[in-house]
């Protein structure tokens, strides 16, 4: 064990008792469903199952004591013992069934309820929350973490109950027969349990570290695999393998170290508890030789000593389950404690669809402002284009207007009303966002377009598709509008997917359109169709567009050049060109790139460029 290894002090580490308390709180989430009752019954019945098993041991002791005292066994006695054993068996059968039924069904219900609660909570959280997280993390919480909780409730919790059930009965019985022997039996438990709690906590800390280091080593391996094409293309297998080998070796070494650090305390716990056996042998033997207890009691104590310790040893296998469940709880809490944006008490109605940014300031990460003191006005039904270098905050303008995040300073208004004072539904009904990344649902083409307006008729959907230049290619699909779109829209080309998403936006008919132009190229025919589709979408709307193709925004009423988080220049194309600032530089660069072409050896680039 490396004593000096620094273990991150983490508030995420809970004690076992805290974890239990948290699970208990979650079980009470759905009032009136009696989940807590079920969980409790699951534990209680498991306890009764132990008691029933204990009954058989009781019968054994009862008869053995008398046999040891030299009594002769009669058939009536055997009959009685058989009856008790039969009751014991029935009790075990019934209670184990009831316990499992209650615990399992409660765990399924709880996980299901919790899943629904999280899903519901997620949709109320601002988009910023979702965009700032790995989607995979959230999926993990809803799937494997829930299964983890199920396992904990259905399996670990009853086993914990069982681990204490039989020992408590045995100890009680021993104390009744002879308290010094009981005391001796208790010594190893008293020493072992703190060791257990300590180990469990240590396991949690090590677990977190192991996870982190593993994640890092894993990330490097993933990178190697993902970069395989590049590694191959550059003939750099040796170099790729070098970093990869190191990552693999790290991974192995960390795993080994962690296991070594964990094995020792666990072995120690097992040994300490089990040393209770020789201790009880000594104590009971001494008491018997002293004449303090009779042979029957001695035999009883010796026979029961294993029933005292082996259930406790079973705790070892529950320990990690508890820790894993705890890690799951932590991840669940990260979602459940996230705040949804405050809803206005009395939502206001916007007067018109003019948009204003008033001294808006915003940062994704505290201390790194993306926008500072951003002010501009977009009159109703005009077109504003936002241009600027990558990372200048262009897309942030759209994100804030759609309330994916809230501004830190200043305010944004639509129709004179702060967007934070509108109801979420109202704001969303005013705005259509056309994202760079098109998202289509699994379902038919019709469903995907009609998504914008529940109850839309076939004619309405077709009109929208026609306006989006999508009708023709849709009619060429095997089942027309009823063609199913594969997961992620894989059976359509990029340009076709864009047009379906534009048809959806057209059908919505919101008065304000936020358009983030796609940067990746598609083939010219598709691009032209997309361009035409966008033209239909934005007609007569208040339009804010983050532009990448300068040629399409020349006619904008207003062009905002964003730089360093504020507006560097603004005005019409002609005015900005005349000003000779950044915009005119961009435009000139474009003109140069227009005249540029990839040429063979015969041509001279320099002469063309000038």
Partner 1 sequence: MSLAEASLAETTESLTPEAAQGPDYLAPLRLMRGHLGDSSARLAFAIGLATLGVFAELVPVWAVYRLVAAAVAGTLDWPLVTTHAAIAALGVIVGFAAMGLALGQSHLVAFDVIHRVRLAAARHMARLPLGYFAERPSGDAKKQVVDEPEKLEAIVAHGLPEGVSSVATWLAVSIWLFAVDWRMALAAIVLTPVSFVLLGIGMKRGGTYATAYQRANARMNAAIVEYLAGMPVVKVFNRTRDSFAETSAAARAYADIETRWARAYLPLGGAFYMLVIANIVVILPVGLMLVKAGTLDLPTLLLFVILGANYSQPLLKLFNQFHGLAHIAMGSSAVTDLLAQEPQADSGRRVILRNHDVAFEKVRFGYGQNDVLHGVGFLARTGEVTALVGPSGSGKSTIAALVARFRDVREGNVSIGGVDVRDMAIDQLMETVAFVFQDTFLFSDTIAANIRFGNPDASDDQVRAAAEAARAHDFIMALDHGYDTPLGEQGRTLSGGERQRIAIARAILKDAPVIVLDEATAFADPDNEAAIQDAIAALTKGRTLIVVAHRLHTIMAADQILCIDRGHVAERGRHRQLLEQNGLYARLWEDYLHARNTPLRPANAATITQEAV
* CA nearest neighbour of 550 among 582, 513, 525, 506: 582
Whether residue 556 contacts residue 544, with contact meaning beta carbons closer than 8 Å, is answered with no
Provide the minimum distance between the beta carbon of 31 and partner 1 in the complex, in angstroms, as a whole number: 19
Between residues 429 and 444, which has the closer beta carbon with respect to partner 1? 429
Whether residue 332 contacts residue 119, with contact meaning beta carbons closer than 8 Å, is answered with no
Tokens 């669940």 sit on residue: 332
Site string for partner 1, 588-607 (x = CB under 8 A): -xx-xxxxxxxxxxxx-x--
Site string for partner 1, 488-517 (x = CB under 8 A): -----xxx-----x--x---x------x--
Judged by CB under 8 A, the residue of 7, 8, 78, 475 near partner 1 is: 78
Judged by CB under 8 A, the residue of 404, 463, 483, 566 near partner 1 is: 404
Provide the minimum distance between the beta carbon of 402 and partner 1 in the complex, in angstroms, as a whole number: 7
Provide the minimum distance between the beta carbon of 69 and partner 1 in the complex, in angstroms, as a whole number: 10
Between residues 283 and 407, which has the closer beta carbon with respect to partner 1? 283
Whether residue 556 contacts residue 384, with contact meaning beta carbons closer than 8 Å, is answered with yes
Between residues 274 and 410, which has the closer beta carbon with respect to partner 1? 274
Query: In the window 275-304, what residues touch partner 1 (CB under 8 A)?
Result: 275, 277-279, 281-282, 285-286, 288-289, 295, 298-299, 302-303
**Residues near 329 by beta carbon (within 8 Å), at least 6 away in sequence:** 14, 19, 22, 23, 26, 149
Site string for partner 1, 430-469 (x = CB under 8 A): -xxx-x---x-xx--------xx-x---------------
> Where are any strands of DSSP class E within 297-387?
355-365, 368-378, 383-387
Q: Which stretch binds partner 1 (CB under 8 A): 137-145, 169-177, 329-337, 460-468?
A: 137-145
User: Binding of partner 1 at residue 142 (CB under 8 A)?
Assistant: yes
User: Binding of partner 1 at residue 244 (CB under 8 A)?
Assistant: yes
Say how far residue 387 (Cα) sits from the centre of its chain. Answer: 35
Query: In the window 187-216, what residues touch partner 1 (CB under 8 A)?
Result: 207, 210
User: Binding of partner 1 at residue 383 (CB under 8 A)?
Assistant: yes
Whether residue 165 contacts residue 50, with contact meaning beta carbons closer than 8 Å, is answered with yes
**Residues near 264 by beta carbon (within 8 Å), at least 6 away in sequence:** 1
Q: Which stretch binds partner 1 (CB under 8 A): 7-15, 191-199, 311-319, 348-356?
A: 311-319
Q: Which stretch binds partner 1 (CB under 8 A): 61-69, 341-349, 455-463, 464-472?
A: 61-69
Between residues 308 and 374, which has the closer beta carbon with respect to partner 1? 308
DSSP conformation letters of 211-234: HHHHHHHHHHHHHHHHTHHHHHHT
What is the DSSP secondary structure assignment for residue 236, as one 8-state letter? -
Q: Which stretch binds partner 1 (CB under 8 A): 18-26, 236-244, 344-352, 353-361?
A: 236-244
d(CA 257, CA 3): 12
Upper half-sphere CA count for residue 583 (Cβ side, 13 Å) = 26
User: Binding of partner 1 at residue 367 (CB under 8 A)?
Assistant: no
Query: Which run of H or E residues covers position 272?
Result: helix 237-274
Whether residue 199 contacts residue 193, with contact meaning beta carbons closer than 8 Å, is answered with no
DSSP conformation letters of 481-513: GGPEEPGGGTTS-HHHHHHHHHHHHHHH--SEE
d(CA 249, CA 243): 10
Beta-carbon neighbour count of residue 150 at 10 Å?
A: 21
Whether residue 78 contacts residue 59, with contact meaning beta carbons closer than 8 Å, is answered with no
Between residues 362 and 495, which has the closer beta carbon with respect to partner 1? 495
Judged by CB under 8 A, the residue of 30, 33, 34, 155 near partner 1 is: 155
Beta-carbon neighbour count of residue 230 at 10 Å?
A: 10
Judged by CB under 8 A, the residue of 32, 487, 490, 610 near partner 1 is: 487
d(CA 398, CA 405): 10
Provide the minimum distance between the beta carbon of 172 and partner 1 in the complex, in angstroms, as a whole number: 19
Judged by CB under 8 A, the residue of 15, 112, 359, 375 near partner 1 is: 112
58, 63, 68, 71: CA torsion to nearest 10? 160
Judged by CB under 8 A, the residue of 35, 387, 456, 500 near partner 1 is: 387
Between residues 359 and 590, which has the closer beta carbon with respect to partner 1? 590
Query: Which run of H or E residues covers position 421?
Result: none
Q: How many residues bind partner 1 (CB under 8 A)?
A: 201
User: Binding of partner 1 at residue 145 (CB under 8 A)?
Assistant: no
Query: In the window 525-554, what residues touch partner 1 (CB under 8 A)?
Result: 525-528, 530-532, 534-535, 538-540, 543, 545, 547-554
Tokens 């219900």 sit on residue: 109
What does residue 555 show for φ and ψ, rounded to 5 degrees?
-90, 5
Q: Which stretch binds partner 1 (CB under 8 A): 354-362, 406-414, 427-435, 471-479?
A: 427-435
Between residues 59 and 359, which has the closer beta carbon with respect to partner 1? 59
Between residues 249 and 579, which has the closer beta carbon with respect to partner 1? 249
């Amino acid at each position: 064990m490396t004593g000096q290894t620094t273990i991150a002090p983490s508030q995420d580490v809970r004690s076992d008792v805290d974890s239990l308390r948290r699970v208990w709180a979650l079980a009470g989430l759905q009032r009136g469903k009696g989940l807590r009752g079920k969980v409790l019954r699951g534990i209680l019945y498991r306890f009764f199952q132990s008691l029933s098993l204990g009954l058989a041991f009781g019968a054994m002791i009862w008869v053995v004591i008398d046999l040891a005292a030299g009594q002769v066994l009669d058939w009536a006695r055997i009959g009685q013992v058989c009856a008790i054993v039969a009751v014991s068996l029935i009790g075990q059968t019934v209670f184990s069934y009831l316990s499992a039924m209650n615990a399992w069904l409660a765990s399924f219900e709880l996980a299901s309820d919790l899943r629904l609660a999280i899903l519901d909570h997620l949709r109320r959280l601002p988009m910023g929350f979702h965009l700032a997280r790995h989607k995979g993390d959230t999926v993990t919480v809803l799937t494997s973490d829930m299964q983890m909780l199920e396992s904990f409730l259905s399996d670990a919790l009853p086993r914990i109950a069982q681990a204490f059930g039989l020992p408590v009965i045995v100890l009680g019985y021993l104390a009744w027969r002879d308290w010094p022997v009981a005391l001796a039996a208790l010594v190893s438990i008293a020493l072992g349990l703190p060791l257990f709690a300590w180990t469990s906590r240590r396991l949690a800390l090590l677990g977190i570290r192991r996870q982190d280091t593993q994640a890092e080593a894993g990330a490097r391996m993933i990178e190697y695999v993902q970069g395989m094409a590049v590694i191959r293309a550059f003939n750099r297998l040796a170099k790729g393998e070098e970093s990869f080998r190191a990552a693999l070796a790290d991974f192995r070494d960390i795993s080994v170290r962690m296991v070594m650090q964990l094995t020792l305390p666990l072995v120690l716990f097992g040994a300490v508890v089990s040393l209770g056996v020789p201790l009880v042998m000594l104590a009971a033997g001494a008491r018997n030789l002293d004449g303090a207890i009779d042979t029957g009691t001695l035999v009883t104590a010796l026979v029961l000593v294993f029933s005292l310790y082996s259930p406790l040893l079973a705790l070892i296998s529950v320990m990690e389950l508890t820790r894993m469940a705890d890690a799951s709880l932590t991840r669940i809490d990260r979602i459940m404690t996230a705040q949804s944006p405050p809803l206005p008490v009395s939502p206001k109605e916007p007067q018109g669809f003019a948009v204003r940014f008033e001294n808006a300031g915003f940062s994704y990460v505290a201390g790194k402002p993306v926008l500072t003191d951003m002010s501009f006005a977009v009159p109703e039904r005009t077109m504003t284009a936002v241009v600027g270098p990558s990372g200048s905050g262009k897309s942030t303008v759209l994100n804030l207007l759609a309330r994916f995040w809230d501004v830190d300073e200043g305010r944004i208004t639509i129709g004179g009303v702060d967007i934070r004072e509108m109801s979420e539904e109202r704001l969303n009904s005013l705005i259509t966002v056309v994202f760079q990344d098109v998202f289509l649902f699994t379902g038919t083409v019709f469903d995907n377009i009609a998504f914008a307006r529940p109850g839309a008729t076939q004619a309405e959907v077709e009109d929208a598709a026609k306006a989006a230049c999508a009708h023709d290619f849709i009619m060429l699909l095997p089942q027309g509008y009823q063609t199913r779109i594969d997961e992620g829209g894989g059976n359509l080309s990029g340009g076709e997917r864009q047009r379906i998403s534009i048809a959806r936006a057209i059908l919505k008919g919101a008065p304000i359109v936020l358009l983030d132009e796609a940067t990746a190229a598609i083939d010219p025919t598709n691009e032209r169709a997309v361009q035409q589709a966008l033209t239909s979408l934005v007609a007569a709307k208040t339009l804010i567009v983050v532009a990448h193709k300068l040629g399409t925004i020349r006619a904008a009423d207003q062009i905002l050049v964003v730089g360093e988080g504020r507006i560097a220049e603004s005005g019409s194309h002609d005015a900005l060109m005349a000003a000779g600032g950044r915009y005119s530089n961009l435009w000139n660069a474009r003109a140069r790139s227009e005249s540029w072409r990839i040429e063979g050896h015969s041509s001279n680039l320099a002469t063309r460029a000038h």
